[in-house]
């Protein structure tokens, strides 16, 4: 006997979630460009918001893909999403202002090829495979770009490889204390990889409901944003990092409370220190 | 990872048209790389393709039983395919990266042995738990006799199960899978490291020692990403569980090798473009 | 490369010890929270009509989850060290924040899975959430802190080229893989299906019928900690400890021979030795336990 992966019908159609997620993520990541225009680092947290949008969208893509029964577990979809996303994102960061759009395009090409390989060469024959893998690659690339720009303040390659450190009070430019030089990008990779697959993996079951799953996605996104905010202390000014931390924390508290409320709404019973309740029909 | 799922939709056999299209994509990637990075980049890409194919092939050797193995209902290791292979391959990559300064062949050897060593120890401890902790001898469900040792299995299979533990052929398969995975991952890492170590100093006009952390990290994260892509594609091919090289599912490996090679070619091309464009 | 051999051997031994503790803590944590492949039975049980009070921590498999906690701990520690915080304090803060993230993920997993099982009348038990979550977080802290400390030793004392976060990722996934492979069958069969006969696998017909009433009272996941620490925890610790120790030992000791090939040959020899040990264990089991089919009564008696 194996557990059946069931998904809820109805709710917001996936196309609308994709549109909101894609546009919202791009707009938010582009808002970090205000850093360059104003010469500060205070707008970095918009990158994190962009990543939350992408996680929110990617959750629904994973849900749509896995409801067809891919034979392996849900976490592998998250891993392939971020694995291909990181490759697309790193090339896109060399494109200057066009980086976010470039990330979407490169990720789309990569995703189509991977989807084609999975569906046709590996004979999986799942109708939505190519489209969903494309969406997942784009979402993965945007998550990485969003969190990277939140941590460093910009989405340009040069800013991600060049950092500075203080040596007895003197600022020294160095390549090793940077997002890529210090491999912080590996942390963002795993943060995104777990965050994108956790909401569906955690909420699956016969009574899965879309609003609860999506709320969990937002909560995972803000939780990851808190972690990235702590790491941004090494790259941004103290004020910008604290601002990012506060925004992430408030976002997380709100979505977490809402998620608990929705779980209470959907649960069969909400018991505190009560014994096992045998069902009416018996075992 | 729990092997949840409805009916797995994987079919048998190779899809010839799709495979040909895949190979055409691979050749296009090689061509573009030759155009932008000339011979050095193309040789690196060929190395990456071989590395990816090795990963795709090697993952088929690893015995994975999934959720039933956790209850002694099926032989194999009770973890997911992609992540168990990733664990072994990354442990190999650790060793290979450490030996990178000693030469190409030595580093490859170190990577391969690192992956194989991790699987050897893990598979031994799995058997120790099954034998001494649960009192269950190893038995395969797919064949009646072990191809290597000649042990017979049907009378050692408990009732109502499909086998349990790690028969010797599965153990050997696990070690081979770890070795090939470590070898493939280290090969990808070394090729990319060579490309970045050559290109980054000229691009940013700095000596190599200063920019080496960036080259190492870029090559490392690309290697991890490509390893995961290839491992997940192979897991899709296996559809969840496999007992090892003696399992009938093992014969599916050609299409996984093709898929892994094409995926690695395209991803490798993008990785080289980061410094070549 | 390693300049000082004695320092290298000392650090190798320390790293091996840290890895052993990490492996034991990892497996204990994943059994207290019921993560990984055995958790599919916890998910299945209500479907078959067996309501339970087990913590359904469906985060993902252990390798990617531990890959995240260790990479996150290492990343935060690295960031804090980059702003010139003391190394040990940075490792502790890094592990603490990683544990916070782990705890939140655990609660959302339990609430999500259990709320989605409302159709099978599985209630959400809030007292489980309150009592078990902090215990898993504590064990996870031990696992994460020892792993990232071991990674820091590899960077600072042994001179590995990878930066700390990347090492955390690599060893986190390896830790999860080793601990999950070794510990899952023990928890899945011996604890969840205690009522099945010892010395045989669980028949497929018994799926879902996990133990819900314990020695006295109703089983809570907290009891799994005690159980795991009897065998599977130390075994997982031994597994991961041996992996780390031999990986470092063969490099530190033998790399100077034969232009680096010495370490590779040493590794091959060690693999062959383990293969021989495994074959011995396998034949010992076959000879001592005997086959099932010919004499079923004997097989069940011949427990180790």
Instruction: Kindly report the number of other CB atoms within 10 A of residue A104's CB atom.
Output: 21
- Kindly list the residues from chain B whose CB atom is less than 8 angstroms away from the CB atom of residue A67: 6
Q: Give the pLDDT score at B97.
A: 92
Alpha-carbon distance A269 to nearest alpha carbon in chain C (angstroms): 5
Can you name the residues that pair with C124 across neighbouring β-strands? A270
Q: Give the pLDDT score at A219.
A: 96
What's the burial of B6, exposed, middle or buried (CB within 10 Å: 0-12/13-18/19+)? Answer: middle
CA distance A23 to C230: 53
Instruction: Kindly report the number of other CB atoms within 10 A of residue B249's CB atom.
Output: 18
Which residue of A lies nearest to C129 if distances are taken between CA atoms?
A272
CB contact under 8 A, C59 and A198: yes
Q: Give the pLDDT score at C214.
A: 80
CB contact under 8 A, C36 and B1: yes
CA distance A195 to A148: 15
Q: Give the pLDDT score at C181.
A: 92
Helix (H, G, I), strand (E, B) or coil at C142: helix
Which residue of A lies nearest to B3 if distances are taken between CA atoms?
A73
Alpha-carbon distance C21 to nearest alpha carbon in chain B (angstroms): 16
Which residue of A lies nearest to C97 if distances are taken between CA atoms?
A227
CA distance A161 to A185: 11
Positions of chain C with pLDDT lower than 50, given as ranges: 1, 295-304
Residues 6+ positions from A108 with CB-CB distance below 8 Å: A134, A137, A138
CB contact under 8 A, C64 and A75: yes
Find the helix or strand (DSSP H, E) in which A170 lies.
strand A170-174
Number of H helices and E strands in chain B, helices first, is 7, 0
pTM: 0.93
The answer to whether position B3 is within a domain reads: no
Q: What is the pLDDT of residues A137-166, one digit of tens each?
A: 999 999 999 999 999 988 888 888 887 777
Q: Give the pLDDT score at C3.
A: 62
CA distance B238 to B64: 10
Q: Give the pLDDT score at C298.
A: 41
Tell me how far the alpha carbon of residue B96 is from its chain's centroid: 15
The answer to whether position B106 is within a domain reads: yes
Q: Which structure tokens are listed for B50?
A: 């071989």
Domain extent for B224: 41-276
Instruction: Kindly report the number of other CB atoms within 10 A of residue A160's CB atom.
Output: 23
The position carrying tokens 């299906």 is C193
Rg over alpha carbons for chain C, rounded to the nearest Å, is 21
Sign of CA dihedral C118, C123, C127, C131: negative
CA distance A94 to B273: 10
CB contact under 8 A, B1 and C37: yes
CB contact under 8 A, A281 and C49: yes
- Kindly list the residues from chain B whose CB atom is less than 8 angstroms away from the CB atom of residue C207: 71
Using a CB–CB cutoff of 8 Å, tell me whether A203 touches chain B: no
Q: Give the pLDDT score at A207.
A: 86
The position carrying tokens 């890959």 is C67
Longest CA span, chain B = 70
Task: Report ipTM for this prediction.
Answer: 0.92
Picking from A68, A71, A86, A95 by the largest number of B CB atoms within 10 A of its own CB, the best residue to mutate is A71
CA distance C32 to C28: 6
Using a CB–CB cutoff of 8 Å, tell me whether C170 touches chain B: yes
CA distance A34 to A36: 5
What's the burial of C140, exposed, middle or buried (CB within 10 Å: 0-12/13-18/19+)? Answer: buried
Q: Which structure tokens are listed for A109?
A: 């090409």
Establish, for the pair of chains A and C, how many residue pairs have beta carbons separated by less than 8 Å.
221
Residues 102-121 of C with CB under 8 A from B: none
- CB contact at 8 A, A212 and A266: yes
- CB contact at 8 A, B106 and B126: no
Residues 219-278 of A with CB under 8 A from B: none
Q: Give the pLDDT score at A8.
A: 63
Positions of chain A with pLDDT lower than 70, given as ranges: 1-10, 71, 280-283
Residue among C63, C188, C274 whose CB faces B70 most closely:
C188
CA distance A158 to A148: 12
CB contact under 8 A, B86 and C239: no
Cα distances from A152 to residues A41, A187, B106, in angstroms, run 9, 14, 37
**What total number of domains does chain B contain?**
1
DSSP A231-278: HGGGTS-HHHHHHHHHHHHHHHHHHHHHHHHHHHHHSS-EESS-----
Q: Which structure tokens are listed for A63?
A: 């849900």
Positions of chain B with pLDDT lower than 50, given as ranges: 1-9
Using a CB–CB cutoff of 8 Å, tell me whether C159 touches chain A: no
The 10 Å CB-count burial string (b at 16+, else e) for B102-137 is beeebbbbbbbbbbbbbbbbbbbbbbbbbbebbbbb
């Amino acid at each position: 006997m194996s557990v059946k992966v069931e998904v809820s019908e109805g709710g917001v159609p996936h196309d609308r979630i994709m549109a909101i997620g894609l546009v919202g993520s791009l707009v938010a990541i582009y808002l970090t460009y205000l850093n360059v225009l104003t010469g500060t680092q205070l707008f970095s947290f918009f990158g994190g918001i962009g990543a939350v949008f992408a996680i929110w969208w990617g959750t629904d893509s994973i849900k749509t893909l896995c409801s067809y029964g891919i034979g392996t577990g849900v976490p592998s979809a998250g891993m392939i999403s971020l694995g291909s996303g990181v490759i697309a994102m790193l090339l896109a960061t060399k494109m200057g202002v066009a980086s976010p759009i470039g990330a979407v395009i490169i990720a789309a090409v990569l995703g189509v090829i991977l989807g084609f390989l999975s569906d046709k060469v590996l004979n999986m024959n799942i109708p939505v495979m190519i489209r969903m893998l494309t969406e997942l690659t784009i979402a993965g690339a945007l998550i990485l770009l969003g969190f990277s720009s939140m941590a460093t303040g910009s989405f340009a390659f040069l800013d991600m490889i060049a950092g500075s450190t203080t040596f007895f009070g003197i600022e020294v430019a160095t390549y090793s204390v940077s997002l890529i030089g210090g491999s912080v990008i590996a942390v963002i990779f795993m943060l995104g990889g777990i965050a994108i697959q956790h909401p569906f993996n955690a909420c699956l079951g016969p009574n899965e409901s879309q609003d609860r799953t999506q709320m969990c996605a937002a909560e995972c996104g803000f939780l990851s944003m808190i972690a990235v905010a702590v790491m941004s202390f090494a790259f941004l000014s103290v004020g910008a990092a604290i601002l990012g931390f506060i925004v992430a924390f408030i976002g997380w508290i709100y979505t977490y409370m809402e998620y608990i409320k929705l779980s209470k709404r959907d649960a069969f019973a909400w018991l505190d220190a009560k014994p096992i309740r045998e069902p009416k029909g018996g075992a | 990872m729990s092997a949840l799922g409805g009916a797995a939709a994987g079919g048998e056999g190779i899809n010839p048209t799709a495979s040909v299209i895949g190979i055409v994509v691979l050749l296009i990637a090689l061509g573009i790389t030759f155009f932008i990075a000339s011979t050095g980049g193309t040789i690196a890409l060929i190395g990456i393709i071989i590395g990816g194919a090795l990963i795709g092939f090697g993952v088929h050797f690893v015995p994975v039983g999934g959720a039933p193995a956790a209850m002694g209902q099926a032989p194999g290791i009770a973890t997911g395919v992609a992540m168990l292979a990733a664990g072994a391959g990354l442990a190999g990559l650790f060793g290979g990266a450490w030996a990178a300064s000693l030469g190409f062949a030595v580093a490859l050897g170190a990577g391969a042995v690192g992956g194989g060593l991790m699987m050897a120890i893990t598979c031994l401890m799995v058997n120790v738990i099954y034998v001494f902790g649960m009192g269950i001898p190893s038995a395969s469900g797919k064949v009646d006799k072990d191809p290597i040792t000649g042990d017979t299995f049907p009378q050692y299979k408990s009732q109502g199960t499909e086998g349990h533990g790690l028969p010797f052929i599965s153990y050997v398969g696990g070690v081979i899978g770890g070795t090939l995975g470590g070898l493939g991952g280290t090969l990808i890492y070394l090729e990319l490291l060579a490309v970045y170590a050559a290109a980054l100093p000229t691009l940013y006009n700095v000596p190599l020692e200063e920019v080496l952390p960036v080259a190492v990290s870029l090559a490392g994260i690309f290697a991890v990403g490509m390893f995961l892509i290839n491992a997940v594609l192979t897991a899709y091919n296996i559809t969840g569980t496999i007992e090892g090289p003696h399992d009938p599912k093992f014969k599916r490996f050609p299409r996984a090798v093709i898929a892994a090679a094409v995926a690695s070619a395209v991803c490798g091309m993008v990785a080289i473009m980061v410094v070549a464009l | 490369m390693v300049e000082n051999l004695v320092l290298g051997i000392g650090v190798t031994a320390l790293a091996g010890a840290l890895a052993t503790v990490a492996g034991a803590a990892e497996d204990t944590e994943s059994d207290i929270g019921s993560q990984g492949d055995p958790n599919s039975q916890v998910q299945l049980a209500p479907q078959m009509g067996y309501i339970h009070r087990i913590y359904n921590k469906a985060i993902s498999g252990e390798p990617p989850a531990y890959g995240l906690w260790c990479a996150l701990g290492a990343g935060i520690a690295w960031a804090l060290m980059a702003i010139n915080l003391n190394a040990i304090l940075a490792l502790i803060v890094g592990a603490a924040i990683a544990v916070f993230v782990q705890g939140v993920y655990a609660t959302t997993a339990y609430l999500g899975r259990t709320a989605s099982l409302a159709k099978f009348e599985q209630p959400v038990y809030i007292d489980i959430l309150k009592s078990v979550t902090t215990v898993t977080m504590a064990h996870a802290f031990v696992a994460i802190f020892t792993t990232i400390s071991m990674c820091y030793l590899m960077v600072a004392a042994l001179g590995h080229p990878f930066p700390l976060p990347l090492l955390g990722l690599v060893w986190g996934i390896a830790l999860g893989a080793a601990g999950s492979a070794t510990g899952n069958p023990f928890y899945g069969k011996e604890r969840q299906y205690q009522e099945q006969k010892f010395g045989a696998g669980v028949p497929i017909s018994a799926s879902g019928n996990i133990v819900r009433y314990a020695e006295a009272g109703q089983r809570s996941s907290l009891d799994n900690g005690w159980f795991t620490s009897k065998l599977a925890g130390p075994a997982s610790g031994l597994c991961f400890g041996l992996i780390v120790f031999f990986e470092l030992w063969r490099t530190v000791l033998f790399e100077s021979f034969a232009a680096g090939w010495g370490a590779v040959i040493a590794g091959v020899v060690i693999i062959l030795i383990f293969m021989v040990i495994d074959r011995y264990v396998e034949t010992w089991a076959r000879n001592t336990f005997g086959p099932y089919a010919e004499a079923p009564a004997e097989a069940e008696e011949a427990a180790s």
